[in-house]
Amino acid sequence: MPDNISLLAVFSDIAPAADAIDQLRVLGLSDDQMNVISGIPVTEAMLGRPDQWTNVPGLALGGAVLGFLGGAFLAFVAPYLYPQPIQVGPHAIVPGPPTFIMLFELTMLGMLLSTFLGVFLDSYFPNYRPMEYVKEVSDGKIAVFFLCPNESREKFTNAMSALGAEKVEVAEVEHL
């Protein structure tokens, strides 16, 4: 296996960065050998990259189900846990409108908490490993990190420069 080198290409606009990603695929790199860092929100579709898989929607659904079950327990089971259910006038032991509100609120609370936990865990926060950082990204530029074979470094550098990269250099991990 040849030695790989990590290169960094900095672009001032999204269109040349998307073209660069396409060119890197043509040159034989896969999507897991590339990383895009941007200071502006850029979706995967804008760069022609595959969507990232996430657990957050499944966790949100699971939290909603658990919240609903908790609300159902409080509404339908808890009143009958007393030795004698408390009867308030001519009303039912489980009243309709307050029960609906409680079910809704606990369903949303379960979904909210599980979504927060899912995003927290899915973003690998806190992250203690060294991260790639480029100062130009803070100025609105787009950085593309990629691994290429060391012997093909010149070919990759020329290809990125031809597509409008402001600079192409060896990427070093900066500790923040």
Cα gap 160→21, rounded to integer Å: 9
In this predicted structure, the answer to whether residue 176 has a pLDDT above a threshold of 50 is no
CB-side neighbour CA atoms (13 Å) of 67: 22
Q: What is the pLDDT of residue 1?
A: 44
Q: Give backbone dihedrals phi and psi of 26, rounded to 5 degrees, phi first.
A: -65, -35
List pLDDT tens digits, range 50-106. Answer: 777 788 999 999 999 999 999 999 999 988 888 887 777 888 888 889 999 999 999
Average pLDDT value for residue range 118-127:
78
Mean pLDDT over all residues of the chain? 84
Q: What is the pLDDT of residue 132?
A: 63
Cα gap 142→153, rounded to integer Å: 20
Q: Which domains does the chain have, with CATH numbers?
A: 4-52+131-170 (3.30.70.260), 56-122 (no CATH)
Whether 39 and 137 have beta carbons less than 8 Å apart is answered as yes
- CA distances, 76 to each of 38, 81, 88, 140, 174 (Å): 50, 10, 16, 55, 57
Whether 47 and 18 have beta carbons less than 8 Å apart is answered as yes
List pLDDT tens digits, range 15-30. Answer: 888 888 888 888 888 8
Tell me the three state secondary structure of residue 130.
coil
